[in-house]
Structure 1
Amino acid sequence: MRTVTFGMNISLDGCCDHTVFNPSESLMDYFTDMMNDVDLTFYGRIMYQLMFPYWSDVAKNKSGSPDEIRFAEKLTSLKKVVVSRTLENAEENTQIIRSNPVAALKELKQQPGKKISVDSVSMLPELLTAGLIDEFNLVIHPVMAGRGRRLLDSGSLLETLSLQLTDTIVFKSGCVAHHYRKQ
């Protein structure tokens, strides 16, 4: 059975607004290295549209820094699933699923392969309730955003989920990456 890992950048006050983060070269390398163990990414529509076509354009046009281009090339090479009722089309190697993300992820988890990376704040409570997330990679940025979507809204989980911290990396930028596993 495949491992499902959830990853997200968050501010010190728990917000996930990507516009307030400015990842360093070492943080971009960290994200790129994490994808060596992943062969499928699982997105909600909002996160998918934040990521693409931006990163595919960086990969194609070589329009970023060397670390951004490495990240973009790695990310765009992965198979992707996006859950959306409204998205009309998606980039190549991307499958659109119209409903029931829990059933879709359960099925994907049973297939052979590397880890599945989930990047969707909107689906997180539903996927946690179904017990589908095995690992968490949270990068906390040294900023108070004060706005944007929170990692979890109050009351969004039916019960407390206990996690085991397995690794912590402190970056020169002040960002701290935490890796957790379900207990």
Structure 2
Amino acid sequence: MRTVSFGMNISLDGYCDHTFANPDEALMDYFTAMMDGVDLFFFGRVMYQLMFPYWEEVAKAQSGTAAENKFAERFSAIDRVVMSRTLTGGDEKTRIVPSDPAGELLRLKQQPGKKISVDTVSMLPELISAGLIDEFNLVVHPVIVGKGRRLLEAGSLQEKLDLKLVETIRFKSGCMALHYESCTKSIIS
């Protein structure tokens, strides 16, 4: 059974907009290392379009810092499933699925492979409620932004989800990487 890991940058006040974050080299190295055990990304359309083709272009042109280029190369090499009713097609690394995110993730989780990285907040309540997220990797940035998309909207979960803190990494930039495991058994365990 594959592990499903949710990862996200977040402000101190709970917003997940990538425009407030400007990761330094140490944080980029952390993000790159996080992909070592990952062989599949599971995206919603918005996050997919935010990340691609940007990082693929950085990887091809080697237009970032050394740490950004390394991240871009690793990130671009991983296969991805994108949940979208509006996108069509895909490519050799991208498969578009139009509906049933929880069903699709459950099917993928049961297949052989390495870790699945979920990097989208739009489907998070549904995936948590289905018991499909095994671990959470949140990078808390030392900023209060006051607007944007929240990690979870009020009332989006039927029940609370208990988590166990596994690891904390403190960066010189003031960011904190928090790694939690879900205390709830998966629906397929």
Question: What is the TM-score of this pair, normalised by structure 1?
Answer: 0.98
- Give the number of aligned pairs: 183
In the other structure, the counterpart of 2:180 is 180
**SS in structure 2 of the partner of residue 36 of structure 1:** coil
Cα drift, residue 145 of structure 1: 1.0
Instruction: Give the conservation status (yes or no) of the 8 Å contact 1:41–1:79.
Output: yes
- For 2:59 and 2:144, the matched residues in 1 are separated by 31
Q: Secondary structure at the match of 1:14?
A: coil
* Matched position secondary structure for 1:96: strand
SS at match of 1:137: strand
Residue 6 (structure 1) aligns with: 6
**What displacement does 1:90 show?**
3.2
SS at match of 1:56: helix
Distance (whole Å) between structure 2 residues aligned to residue 56 and residue 87 of structure 1: 18
The answer (yes or no) to whether the contact 1:141–1:175 under 8 Å persists in 2 is yes
Name 2:130's counterpart in structure 1.
130
Residue 187 of structure 2 is matched in structure 1 by: none
**Aligned-partner SS, 1:50:** helix
Equivalent position amino acid for 2:98 in 1: R
Q: Are 1:15 and 1:147, in contact at CA under 8 Å, matched by a contact in 2?
A: yes
Who is 2:78 aligned against?
A: 78
* Gaps in structure 1 of 5+ consecutive residues: none
| Identical-residue share of aligned pairs (%) | 65
Deviates further, 137-146 or 91-100: 91-100
Opposite residue 16 of structure 1, the aligned amino acid is: C
Q: Which amino acid aligns with 1:113?
A: G
Q: Give the Cα separation in 1 of the matches to 2:5 and 2:130.
A: 14
How big is the shift at 1:91?
4.4
CA distance in 1, matches of 2:88, 2:128: 28
Structure 1 runs of 4+ aligned residues shifted over 6 Å read none
1:35 match: 35
Aligned-pair CA distance for 1:147: 1.2
Once the two structures are superposed, what CA deviation does each residue of 1:126-165 show, in whole Å capped at 9, x if it has no partner? 0000000000000000001111100000000000100000
Partner of residue 64, structure 2: 64
Q: Counterpart in 2 of 1:96?
A: 96
Counterparts of 1:113 and 1:17 in 2: how far apart (Å)? 30
Aligned twin of 2:161: 161
Q: CA deviation at 1:173?
A: 0.2
Q: Secondary structure at the match of 1:136?
A: strand
**C-alpha distance in 2, partners of 1:46/1:80?**
14
CA-based RMSD of the aligned residues comes to 0.7
Cα separation, 1, equivalents of 2:90 and 2:25: 29
Which residue of structure 2 lines up, in the alignment, with residue 53 of structure 1? 53
Paired residues of 1:17 and 1:145 also in contact (CA < 8 A):
no
SS in 1 for 2:126: helix
Question: Which TM-score applies when normalising by structure 2?
Answer: 0.95
Cα deviation, 1:31-71, whole Å, max 9, x if unaligned, reads: 00010010000000000000000000000111100100000
Q: Distance in 2 between matches of 1:11 and 1:89?
A: 34
